[in-house]
Amino acid sequence: MWRSSKVLRFLVPLIVAVGVVVSMSPKAFIFSTDYVEKYMKSRLPEADHLTNSSELHSIQDSNLKQPVREKQVHENGTRIPRSQKKYSNLEKLEVGLGQARAAIREAQHGNQTEDSFYVPDGPMYWNPKAFHRSYLEMEKRLKIYVYEEGEPPVFHYGPCKHTYAIEGFFIQTMEISRFRTSNPKKAHIFFLPFSVTMLTQVIYVAESHDWSLMKNTASDYVNVIAQKYPYWNRSLGADHFMLACHDWGPEISFSIPYLHQNAIRALCNANTSERFDAIRDVSIPEILLPSGTIDGMLGGPSPSKRPILVFYAGGVHGPIRPILLEHWENKDPDVQIYKYLPKNISYYGMVRKSRYCICPSGYEVASPRMVEGLYMGCVPVLIKDDYVIPFSDVLNWKTFSVIIPVKDIPNLKKILLSIPQRQYIKMQRRGIQMRKHFVVNSPPKRYDVFHMILHSIWLRRLNIGLRDVHAEE
């Protein structure tokens, strides 16, 4: 019986694929109380048996066989031979995932698991115990198969500097990650290692406005792996994922119907008005790495040494920034808003002098300013409509950032000044604590941005169940 609204739950809807039944669970914000409570009002937990702890623990990975039934006899008196069911590879994987779900559920009511490296705690997490257990289960179980087809620079490669650095960083890190398996039969998830940024640089003809070559390249790649392997077709892509930080990532995915309908898309451009679906998709942070590393980007002065109330500098892109500049450029010394920052002023220096840093959408919703603020101790002020914030399935952003609707831009200063100094200091310190989840490390470290992206993908995989129909015949 599931008593807590914060717990992961499996629900009824089924998508029948080729030889596989895919059961879909609720939106991946499994640790957000508000969301789950609202979602569950419209659903019935009719598939609780999929995560029944007693059933799951009666089937061990080392001996995945059906329990022998009591002696039975035919009508003619002959004894029915005892039979044992052999589980398919997919069924073994699903049993392991079921055990992980049960462990996450049980973590709600137990003590915090000890961990000498880090134990999540505090209001910055929707449910620190559930997150911690989920993360540990991911470390213990998750296996990802990276398709080997394709050649650099479009495949198995990506940019590791500048605005879209996270795309290349993840692709290349995944190639050597301990989560990677060379045996697709043991994989929970399958990665499509193409870079949308490299598609735009290598395949796209500048100023042609013709996206067909890029779309055909991505579509042909999926067709190749679908013909060569059984895994795409068995789930219609539900246990596959792509990752893109380039603004055109969503548009490229639309060229492959099952990719944007069923698969997990890890995107910087996490815009719900552009068909980003938080049930399946993953929002990843856009991180600007001018030199390819975070050297010199971390740290800043204490709150008492930040004389500027709020800061922003950037080009006029999209519909939000012109409104911001119209109301606040050169209007108030406490509100430092620039279209172009003077050459004698350091951008990062201004971030470090400011208490709040504005992170408005441009042409697209993502912006590296959010992470820059966390890196340097400047509380992010998010002014974005239709944006799914990275890792918001686990992190409670309201505890370490300020979220302002576009319509309230004229009241920007009033809103920020209404925040008590004590509350601001709490947010600033919490942001520094949460920084660890956005840091780019090479090699990766536990709980950093690479592992947080994987964890978000892991949650989406936990939210579906695959059942091998042919194995039951």
Domain containing residue 355: CATH number: 3.40.50.2000
Please check whether residue 79 lies inside any domain of the structure.
no
Q: Which residues contact 99 (CB under 8 A, 6 or more apart)?
A: 56, 57
Cis peptide bond N-terminal to 443, omega within 30: yes
| Residue 7 maps to a domain | no
**Residue 8 forms part of a structural domain:** no
- For residue 231, being part of any structural domain is answered with yes
HSE (side-chain half, CA atoms, 13 Å) at 95 = 20
User: Which residue do the tokens 């408005």 mark?
Assistant: 360
Looking at the structure, do residues 194 and 286 belong to the same domain, yes or no? yes
Do 384 and 417 reside in the same domain of the chain? yes
Does residue 447 lie in a domain region?
no
Task: Match 């925040």 to its residue by tokens.
Answer: 419
Tell whether 337 and 373 lie within a shared domain: yes
**Residue 110: count of CB within 10 angstroms of its CB:** 10
Indicate whether 446 belongs to any domain.
no
Q: Does any domain span residue 5? A: no
Same domain, yes or no: 166 and 127:
no
Distance, CA of 239 to chain centre: 14
* Structural domain containing residue 355: 303-438
Domain tally for the chain? Answer: 3
Q: How far apart are CA 327 and CA 398, in angstroms?
A: 25
Per-residue pLDDT of the chain (473 residues; tens, 9 = 90+): 333 333 332 222 223 333 445 555 433 334 433 333 333 333 223 333 223 233 323 322 333 333 333 334 444 555 545 456 678 999 999 999 999 999 999 998 777 777 888 889 999 999 999 999 999 999 999 999 999 999 999 999 999 989 999 999 999 999 999 999 999 999 999 999 999 999 999 999 888 888 999 999 999 999 999 999 999 999 999 999 999 999 999 999 999 989 999 999 999 999 999 999 998 999 999 999 998 999 999 999 999 999 999 999 998 888 999 999 999 998 999 999 999 898 899 999 999 999 999 999 988 889 999 999 999 999 999 999 899 999 999 999 999 999 999 999 999 999 999 999 999 999 999 999 999 999 999 999 999 999 999 999 999 999 999 977 655 44
In this prediction the pTM is 0.84
Strands of 314-361, DSSP E: 335-338, 354-360
| CB contact set of 418 (below 8 Å; sequence gap of 6+) | none
Do 335 and 241 share a structural domain? no
- Domain co-membership, 223 together with 359: no
166 and 130 co-located in one domain = no
Whether 150 and 46 share a structural domain = no
Q: Is the dihedral of CA 315, 321, 323, 328 positive or negative?
A: negative
Give yes or no: residues 218 and 348 share one domain.
no
Q: Judge whether 18 lies within some domain.
A: yes
The verdict on 324 and 231 lying in the same domain is no
- Cβ atoms 40, 9 nearer than 8 A: yes
Two tokens, residue 430: 């919490």
Same domain, yes or no: 263 and 309: no
Do 284 and 317 lie in a common domain? no
What element of type H or E holds 300? none
405 cis-preceded (ω within 30 degrees of 0)? no
